[in-house]
């Protein structure tokens, strides 16, 4: 049987996190009643004109910088012409020959665990279309549709990769990393289920040993990276089967059906893809000078790759733990805040990935909803580190902080958790225990080291567990060996 | 002087002197429209009630000493392509026969804020595509000087209404000559300012990179007065120019001695009526007598402007007119599915000339033809613009040319052959391609009794120079005889 | 073998263009539009007599750049105004016949 090589390119549409639409002052907020976030401009009424939202340019350029792109000093808008009732003007304002960003890349790991650069061809700014609500259960048995233009002209960036990926794993890794970078940049909500990040797959197969790329199939309707992964796996198999049987692959758009786990041909009588792009005469070019570029660059946060590197190499967090932290931006930000208080990366990562994560899990919460204050939590960990409280108490205090929102110090005081580390306070207790327990002392001195544990236990019992075990141990050892 | 004969300047003085009220002025115009417009058909809709209410409000302001501008209480008309909130805006198309915009065009907003009284919306070629107003879905407008002739187009209703004293002034739009050629045909002043001088927001587009709102008036002074009010940067139009607006009417009737005026030889050929060429010669003599320096100049790429214009304008139009699909507004012809509805609606809603231009523009942008047609015209546009830049860099203040090859022609003369109709725009299109201002002033009557207007072309944002020269050149008002 | 043809546009192309523009024509109309387009396109061939190699394309006659609005929310149209010109509507939405 012939072995086939897969070639994959991805196209993403990310809704930018602006307050208003790209060309008018209507809110971008979703969830309003149909056709209530609209105005003459986004409804495309005769005579209206677009005026570009400055924040769109800044977010698009920021995303481009984060994705290692060249940001264009000069870019302009074009019209893409096609008829569809979700498109108020029957053309989409987008960017064609001169997009705002070009030639970027994202680094992922390939199957061998080696770093691999997947190139980004371009990022351009454009307007979203409205939504069509269809009557009936599916498009084909619907008798009418209801266009809602609330989403029309919400700003998007389209991010187009080069066909540099060769497996479903790589595609998923690329998508996840892209999502994470956009999330750190705070340019988009990147929620695939809600459509603020959309992904289309272009995939072709060719027999091993050949160079010419096979016929490209586009897959749409992918609402998660799991769907992206599954659709690619399915399509690899489908196309390989067809090629094995000598059937030609048709260049077409297919829709992923989540329920059946299949891709299906759209089979719609679509117009020929003759979009008649031409320069948008109603908008003037966008010019980014050095000053503006620097201003945008200064707004870039630490990106996932750099963050991972800092955690592992500078702070000594384990690779696996660091990965877990970086994957989750609210967790990563909490980590930083906590680290600033405690200055012990290992301790902070252990607590965050251990107790804090468990508390969140148990209550079904996301890290973004964490009810803990970083400064106060840091204070608790510092007390633990100084020996002012013991590990078991610290866990109880944390849990109480989590559930009640009370301050660490208040909980410690109320529950009498403060630990005795003052050796002068403990010396008397140690002397008393030695005096009260001659037999274990004799046993210890005779070489039965286990007797030491008994004496330690007595000291802890005497102090109701508040003695600092390390100090007690030191004092006992000193006294016994004197 | 009858109220309807008055210019803006006359009327502002008369209103100030309380010779009559704005309401009386408005009623006089409405009465004349009722009497005369049957013959001319300049108006698509007359907004009598709102006009009287607006005039009464103007009178109240005047009584309180709160006059807003020289236009306060002066009745006027808008080309039916300019959106006025709550008033039908049809673009002379069946497609928008019932369309009522929920917002105001900026140019109309500025006039309304200045106290203008809107008498109604005036006729035009459908979607401003034409040079005769014959492509209006609601029937042609006739030339007040000869009812068998066209008023020119596309702003034929705007020009005819002013010429026939149905409105004191009007706004039109000019994409390739649509204000200037009707001004020439109807014996009125027409100014197409520099691209970007007047906001296009709320003006239904034909070709966005060429469209500009223009003013039709009885005198240069009036046109200048209106221009000062409607011009200027608009935050709703990205392409509106941020440059300062001038007190244009202060430049009218000023001394023009020493000004350098060029006469481009490419505009004067056998294709231009001999009488028009003679009047141009007369004007040259007159300008010299006024102390201006008149010289022959050359704009070598002029001949390419017309074919390039028709590629560019129709390409943009094909996209601008895509939104008329029966979904959100305007005509819908019901059909079983969406695409059939689109097609049935557009087939029924657009007239022949509009379809022809949509087809031409769609073709020019379609796969495989973009470079040969569209991109080529953008390059030709650069060359045309450079011609003018070169001349104005040499120190010329303005250029003098004919406005069109002929005087007003008979209805039906060019309807069978689109190309001969397109040739009407040969002297006006290059100015839109270069984005420059141009002014047409009535100069004389032909032996047939039809007006001849001459065109003055200026450098970008130098409208005041055109008005200075034009106001010295314009004839006493040419008045049609409407056999009343 | 290819036959030498001077025609710039054939009826088939007119039909294709009409489809892109969402128009349709009867057989007579198709012939008439093709003839008109042919004569206009023929006139446009004049443009081929001018050399434009290396000439920059003018997309805007004014040298304006960076015209923006700030990201501030403004007024929307009330729903009934948004739908006031709609040929058909239902429950606050526009209504169109089935897509397919």
A254 and A375 together in one domain: no
Residue A172 maps to a domain: yes
Is any Cβ of chain C less than 8 angstroms from the Cβ of B358?
yes
String of DSSP letters for A152-199: TT-EEEEEEE-S-B-SHHHHHHHHHHHHHHHHHHTSB---TTTTSEEE
Cis peptide before B154 (omega within 30 of 0): yes
pLDDT at residue number A461 = 82
Nearest CA-CA partner of A229 in A266, A265, A192, A195: A192
Which chain C positions have a beta carbon within 8 Å of B385's beta carbon? 58, 61
Q: For B380, list phi and psi in degrees, rounded to 5.
A: -60, -35
**Does the beta-carbon distance from B196 to C64 stay under 8 Å?**
yes
**Does the beta-carbon distance from A53 to C71 stay under 8 Å?**
yes
A259 and A351 together in one domain: no
Which site among B379, B414, B429 would you substitute to test the C interface, given the most C Cβ atoms closer than 10 Å to its Cβ? B379
Mean pLDDT of A62-72: 98
A128 and A274 together in one domain: yes
**Does the beta-carbon distance from B362 to C94 stay under 8 Å?**
no
pLDDT at residue number B286 = 97
Is any Cβ of chain C less than 8 angstroms from the Cβ of A289?
no
pLDDT digits (tens, 9 = 90+) for A153-205: 999 999 999 999 999 999 999 999 999 999 999 999 999 999 999 999 999 99
Q: Residue A35: beta bridge partners?
A: none
A269-296: burial string, b at 16+ Cβ within 10 Å, e else? eeeeebbbbbbbbbbbbbebeeebeeeb
Residue A42 maps to a domain: yes
Residue A124 maps to a domain: yes
User: Looking at chain C, which subunits does it touch, using at least 3 CB pairs closer than 8 Å as the criterion?
Assistant: A, B
**Does the beta-carbon distance from C85 to B359 stay under 8 Å?**
no
Full 3-state SS string of chain B = CCHHHCCHHHHHHHHHCCCCCHHHHHHHHHHHHHHHHHHHCCEEEECHHHHHHHHHHHHHHHHCCCCCCCCCCCEEEEECCECCCCCCCCCCCHHHCCCCCCCCCHHHHHHHHCCCEEEEEECCCHHHCCCCCCCCCCCCCCECCECCECCCCCCHHHHHHHHCCCCCEEEEEECCCCCHHHHHHHCCEEEECCCCCECCCCECCCCCCCCEEEEEECCHHHHHHHHHHHECCCCCCCCCCCCCCCCHHHHCCCCCCCCEEEEEHHHCCCCCCHHHHHHHHHHHHHHHHCCCEEEEECCCCHHHHHHHHHHHHHHHHHHHHHHCCCCCCCCCCCCCCHHHHHHHHHHHHCCHHHHHHHHHHHHHHCCCCCHHHHHHHHHHHHHHHHHHHHHHHCCCCEEEEECCCCCCCECCCCCCCHHHHHHHHCCCHHHHHHCCCEEEEEEEECCCCCEEEEEEEECCCCHHHHHHHHHHHCCCCCCCCCCC
Residue B336 maps to a domain: no
Q: What 3-state DSSP class applies to A200?
A: strand
For residues B434 and C55, give the distance between their C-alpha atoms in angstroms, rounded to a whole number.
15
**Does the beta-carbon distance from A83 to B239 stay under 8 Å?**
no
Contacts of A313 (CB under 8 A, 6+ apart): none
For residues A352 and A369, give the distance between their C-alpha atoms in angstroms, rounded to a whole number.
14
**Does the beta-carbon distance from C50 to B102 stay under 8 Å?**
no
**Does the beta-carbon distance from C47 to B307 stay under 8 Å?**
yes
- Please give the C-alpha separations between residue B107 and each of A376, B228, B234, in angstroms, as whole numbers: 61, 11, 9
For residues A134 and A423, give the distance between their C-alpha atoms in angstroms, rounded to a whole number.
77
Q: Name which of C23, C69, C87 is nearest B343 (Cβ-Cβ).
A: C23
For residues C37 and A383, give the distance between their C-alpha atoms in angstroms, rounded to a whole number.
86
Contacts of A194 (CB under 8 A, 6+ apart): A30
- DSSP letter, residue A97: S
Q: Which two tokens stand for residue A15?
A: 């809704």
Question: What counts of helices (H) and strands (E) characterise chain A?
Answer: 16, 17
Q: Is B79 a catalytic residue?
A: yes
User: How high is the mean pLDDT of chain C?
Assistant: 92
pLDDT at residue number B484 = 65
pLDDT at C1 over 50: no
pLDDT category at C4 given cuts 50, 70, 90 is: very low
Cβ pair A332, A325 in contact under 8 A: yes
Which chain A positions have a beta carbon within 8 Å of B367's beta carbon? 274, 276
B145-154: burial string, b at 16+ Cβ within 10 Å, e else? bbeebbbbbb
Which chain A positions have a beta carbon within 8 Å of B315's beta carbon? 278
pLDDT at residue number C2 = 42
pLDDT at A130 over 60: yes
What's the domain range around A314? 309-407
Residue B281 maps to a domain: no
A354 and A462 together in one domain: no
Which chain C positions have a beta carbon within 8 Å of B360's beta carbon? 37, 40-41
Is any Cβ of chain A less than 8 angstroms from the Cβ of C87?
no
pLDDT at residue number B148 = 98
Residue A26 maps to a domain: yes
Is any Cβ of chain A less than 8 angstroms from the Cβ of C76?
yes
Mean pLDDT of A376-393: 86
Contacts of B323 (CB under 8 A, 6+ apart): A44, A46, A88, A89, A90
Residue B130 maps to a domain: yes
Mean pLDDT of A284-288: 98
Residue A381 maps to a domain: yes
Q: What 3-state DSSP class applies to C57?
A: coil
Whether the ipTM is more than 0.85: the answer is yes
**Does the beta-carbon distance from A90 to B323 stay under 8 Å?**
yes
pLDDT at residue number B360 = 97
For residues B307 and B311, give the distance between their C-alpha atoms in angstroms, rounded to a whole number.
7
pLDDT at residue number B126 = 98
Residue B185 maps to a domain: yes
Residue B242 maps to a domain: yes
A66 and A162 together in one domain: yes
A252 and A392 together in one domain: no
C8-25: burial string, b at 16+ Cβ within 10 Å, e else? bbeeebbebbbbbbbbeb
User: How far does Cα C72 stand from its chain's mean position?
Assistant: 33
Q: Name which of A26, A43, A52 is nearest C68 (Cβ-Cβ).
A: A52
Number of compact structural domains in chain A: 3
Domain final residue pick, A292, A324, A357:
A292
Domain final residue pick, A374, A407, A440:
A407
Residue A451 maps to a domain: yes
Angle between helix A168-185 and helix A329-342 axes, rounded to 10 deg? 60
**Residues counted in chain C:** 100
Q: Residue B441: beta bridge partners?
A: B454
Q: Name which of A19, A35, A57 is nearest C92 (Cβ-Cβ).
A: A35
pLDDT at residue number A272 = 62
pLDDT at residue number A267 = 64
Q: Is B246 a catalytic residue?
A: no
Cβ pair B415, B346 in contact under 8 A: no
Residue reference for tokens 């999502």: A179
Is any Cβ of chain B less than 8 angstroms from the Cβ of A195?
no
Which chain C positions have a beta carbon within 8 Å of A81's beta carbon? 20
Q: Which of residues 186-215 of A touch C (CB under 8 A)?
A: none
**Does the beta-carbon distance from C96 to B327 stay under 8 Å?**
yes
Contacts of B412 (CB under 8 A, 6+ apart): B134
A183 and A95 together in one domain: yes
Residue reference for tokens 């192309």: C13
pLDDT category at A270 given cuts 50, 70, 90 is: low
A399 and A476 together in one domain: no
Residue B425 maps to a domain: no
Q: Residue B337: CA atoms inside 13 Å, Cβ hemisphere, count?
A: 10
Q: How far is A112 from chain B (nearest CA, A)?
A: 44
pLDDT at A471 over 70: yes
For residues A470 and A386, give the distance between their C-alpha atoms in angstroms, rounded to a whole number.
11
For residues B247 and B224, give the distance between their C-alpha atoms in angstroms, rounded to a whole number.
8
Least confident among A327-341, A388-402, B437-451, C30-44: A388-402
- In the predicted model, residues of chain B with pLDDT beneath 50 are none
- Please give the C-alpha separations between residue B36 and each of A69, B79, B314, in angstroms, as whole numbers: 67, 18, 35
Which of B21, B132, B155, B178 is catalytic? The answer is B178
Which chain B positions have a beta carbon within 8 Å of C58's beta carbon? 378-379, 381-382, 385
Q: For B172, list phi and psi in degrees, rounded to 5.
A: -130, -170
Q: Residue A470: CA atoms inside 13 Å, Cβ hemisphere, count?
A: 11
Q: How many CB pairs under 8 A join B and C?
A: 159
pLDDT at residue number C3 = 44
Q: How many CB pairs under 8 A join A and B?
A: 100
Q: Which two tokens stand for residue B66?
A: 């709160």
Which of B21, B131, B132, B154 is catalytic? The answer is B154
Q: How far is C93 from chain B (nearest CA, A)?
A: 10
User: How high is the mean pLDDT of chain A?
Assistant: 92
Nearest CA-CA partner of A266 in A286, A251, A247, A278: A251
Residue A413 maps to a domain: no
Q: How far is A123 from chain C (nearest CA, A)?
A: 19
pLDDT at residue number A445 = 87
Which chain A positions have a beta carbon within 8 Å of C22's beta carbon? 83
For residues A50 and A59, give the distance between their C-alpha atoms in angstroms, rounded to a whole number.
19
For residues B175 and B185, give the distance between their C-alpha atoms in angstroms, rounded to a whole number.
17
**Does the beta-carbon distance from A144 to C72 stay under 8 Å?**
no
Q: Is B471 a catalytic residue?
A: no
A68 and A131 together in one domain: yes
Q: How far is C98 from chain A (nearest CA, A)?
A: 4
A360 and A262 together in one domain: no
Q: What 3-state DSSP class applies to A390?
A: coil
* Domain CATH number, residue B251: 3.90.1300.10
Residue B240 maps to a domain: yes
Which chain B positions have a beta carbon within 8 Å of A269's beta carbon? 339
Q: How far is A33 from chain C (nearest CA, A)?
A: 8
A439 burial class (0-12, 13-18, 19+ CB within 10 angstroms)?
exposed
Better-scored residue on pLDDT, A113 or B43: B43
Number of compact structural domains in chain B: 1
What's the domain range around B454? 3-259+432-473
pLDDT category at A480 given cuts 50, 70, 90 is: confident
Angle between helix B352-365 and helix C27-44 axes, rounded to 10 deg? 60
Cβ pair B463, B437 in contact under 8 A: yes
A121 and A263 together in one domain: yes
Residue A304 maps to a domain: no
Residue reference for tokens 């087939």: B347
Which helix H or strand E contains C93, and what residues bound it? Answer: strand C93-94
pLDDT category at A416 given cuts 50, 70, 90 is: confident
Nearest CA-CA partner of B153 in B128, B190, B170: B128
Mean pLDDT of A259-269: 82
**Does the beta-carbon distance from B359 to C33 stay under 8 Å?**
yes
pLDDT at residue number A459 = 83
For residues B303 and B309, give the distance between their C-alpha atoms in angstroms, rounded to a whole number.
11
Cβ pair A245, A237 in contact under 8 A: no
A245 and A188 together in one domain: yes
Domain final residue pick, A292, A327, A362:
A292
H helices of A279-318, in order, are: 290-298, 304-309
């Amino acid at each position: 049987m012939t072995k086939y090589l897969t070639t994959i390119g991805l196209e993403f549409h990310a809704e930018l996190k602006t307050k208003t639409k790209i060309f008018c002052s209507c809110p971008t907020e979703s969830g309003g009643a149909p056709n209530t976030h609209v105005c003459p401009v986004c409804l495309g009424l005769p005579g209206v004109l677009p005026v570009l939202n400055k924040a769109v340019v800044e977010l698009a350029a920021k995303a481009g910088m984060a994705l290692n792109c060249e940001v264009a000093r000069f870019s302009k808008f074009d019209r893409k012409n096609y008829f569809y009732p979700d498109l108020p003007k029957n053309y989409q304002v987008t960017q064609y020959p001169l997009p705002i960003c070009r030639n970027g890349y994202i680094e992922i790991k390939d199957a061998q665990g080696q770093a691999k650069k997947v190139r980004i061809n371009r990022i351009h700014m454009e307007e979203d279309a409205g939504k069509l609500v269809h009557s009936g259960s599916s498009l084909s048995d619907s008798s009418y549709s209801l266009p809602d233009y609330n989403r029309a002209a919400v700003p998007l960036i389209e991010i187009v990769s080069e066909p540099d990926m060769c497996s479903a794993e790589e595609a998923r890794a690329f998508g996840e990393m892209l999502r994470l970078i956009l999330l750190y940049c705070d340019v988009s909500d990147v929620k695939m289920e809600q459509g603020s990040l959309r992904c289309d797959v272009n995939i072709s197969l060719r027999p091993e040993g050949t160079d010419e790329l096979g016929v490209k199939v586009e897959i749409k309707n992918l609402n998660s990276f799991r769907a992206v992964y599954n659709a690619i796996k399915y399509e690899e198999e489908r196309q390989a089967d067809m090629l094995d049987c000598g059937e030609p692959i048709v260049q077409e758009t297919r829709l992923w059906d989540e329920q059946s786990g299949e891709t299906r041909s759209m089979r719609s009588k679509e117009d020929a893809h003759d979009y008649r792009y031409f320069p948008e005469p109603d908008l003037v070019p966008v010019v980014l000078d050095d000053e503006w570029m620097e201003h945008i660059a200064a707004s870039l946060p630490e990106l996932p790759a750099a963050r991972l590197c800092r955690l592992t190499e500078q702070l000594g967090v384990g690779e696996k733990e660091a990965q877990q932290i970086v994957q989750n931006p609210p967790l990563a930000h909490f980590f930083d805040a906590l680290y600033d208080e405690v200055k012990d990366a290992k301790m902070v990562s252990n607590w965050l990935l251990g107790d804090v994560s468990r508390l969140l899990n148990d209550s079904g919460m996301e890290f973004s909803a964490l009810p803990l204050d970083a400064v106060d939590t840091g204070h608790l960990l510092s007390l633990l580190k100084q020996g002012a409280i013991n590990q078991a108490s610290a866990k109880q205090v944390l849990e109480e902080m989590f559930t009640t929102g009370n301050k660490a110090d208040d909980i410690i005081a109320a529950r009498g958790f403060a630990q005795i580390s003052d050796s002068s306070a403990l010396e008397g207790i140690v002397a008393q225990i030695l005096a009260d327990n001659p037999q274990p002392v004799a046993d210890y001195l005779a070489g039965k080291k286990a007797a030491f544990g008994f004496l330690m236990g007595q000291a802890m019992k005497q102090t109701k567990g508040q003695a600092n075990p390390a100090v007690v141990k030191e004092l006992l050892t000193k006294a016994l060996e004197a | 002087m009858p109220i309807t004969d008055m210019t803006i300047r006359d009327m502002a003085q008369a209103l100030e002197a309380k010779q009559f009220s704005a309401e009386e002025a408005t009623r006089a115009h409405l009465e004349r429209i009722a009497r005369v417009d049957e013959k001319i058909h300049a108006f698509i809709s007359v907004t009598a009630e709102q006009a009287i209410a607006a005039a009464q409000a103007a009178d109240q302001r005047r009584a309180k000493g709160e006059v807003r501008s020289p236009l306060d209480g002066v009745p006027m008309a808008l080309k039916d392509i300019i959106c006025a909130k709550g008033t039908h805006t049809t673009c002379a198309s069946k497609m928008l026969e019932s369309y009522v915009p929920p917002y105001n065009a900026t140019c109309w907003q500025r006039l309304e804020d200045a106290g203008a009284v809107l008498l109604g919306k005036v006729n035009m070629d459908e979607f401003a595509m034409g040079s005769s107003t014959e492509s209006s879905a609601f029937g042609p407008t006739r030339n007040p000087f000869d009812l068998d002739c066209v008023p020119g187009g596309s702003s034929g209703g705007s020009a005819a209404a002013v010429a026939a004293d149905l409105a004191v002034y009007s706004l039109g739009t000019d994409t390739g000559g649509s204000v200037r050629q009707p001004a020439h045909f109807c014996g009125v002043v027409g100014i197409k300012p520099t691209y970007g001088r007047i906001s296009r927001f709320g003006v239904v587009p034909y070709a966005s990179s060429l469209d500009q709102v223009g003013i039709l008036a009885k005198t240069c002074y009036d046109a200048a007065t209106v221009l000062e009010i409607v011009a200027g940067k608009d935050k709703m139009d990205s392409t509106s120019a941020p440059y300062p607006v001038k007190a244009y009417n202060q430049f009218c009737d000023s001394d023009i001695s020493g000004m350098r005026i060029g006469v481009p030889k490419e505009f004067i050929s056998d294709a231009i009526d001999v009488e028009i060429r003679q009047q141009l010669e007369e004007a040259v003599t007159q300008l010299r007598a006024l102390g201006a320096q008149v010289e022959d100049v050359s704009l070598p790429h002029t001949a390419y402007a017309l074919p390039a214009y028709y590629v560019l304008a129709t390409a943009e139009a094909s996209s601008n007119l895509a939104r008329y699909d029966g979904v959100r507004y305007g005509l819908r012809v019901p059909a079983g599915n969406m695409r059939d509805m689109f097609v049935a609606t557009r087939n029924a809603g657009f007239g022949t000339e509009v379809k022809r231009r949509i087809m031409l523009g769609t073709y020019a942008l379609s796969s495989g033809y973009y470079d040969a047609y569209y991109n080529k015209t953008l390059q030709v546009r650069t060359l045309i613009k450079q011609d003018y830049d070169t001349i104005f860099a040499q120190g010329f203040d303005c250029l003098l040319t004919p406005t069109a090859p002929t005087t007003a022609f008979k209805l039906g003369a060019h309807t069978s052959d689109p190309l001969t109709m397109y040739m009407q725009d040969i002297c006006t299109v290059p100015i839109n391609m270069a984005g420059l201002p141009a002014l047409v002033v009535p100069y004389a009557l032909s032996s047939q009794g039809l007006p001849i207007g001459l065109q003055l072309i200026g450098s970008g944002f130098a409208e005041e120079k055109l008005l200075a020269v034009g106001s010295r050149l314009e004839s006493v008002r040419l008045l049609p005889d409407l056999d009343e | 073998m290819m036959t030498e043809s001077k025609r710039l546009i054939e009826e088939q192309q007119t039909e294709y263009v009409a489809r892109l523009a969402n128009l349709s024509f009867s057989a007579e109309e198709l012939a008439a539009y093709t003839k008109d387009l042919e004569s206009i396109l023929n006139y446009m061939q004049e443009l081929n007599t001018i050399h434009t190699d290396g000439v920059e394309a003018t997309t805007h006659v004014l040298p304006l750049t960076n015209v923006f609005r700030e990201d501030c929310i403004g007024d929307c149209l009330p729903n009934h105004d948004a739908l006031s010109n709609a040929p058909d509507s239902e429950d606050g939405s526009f209504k169109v016949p089935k897509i397919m």
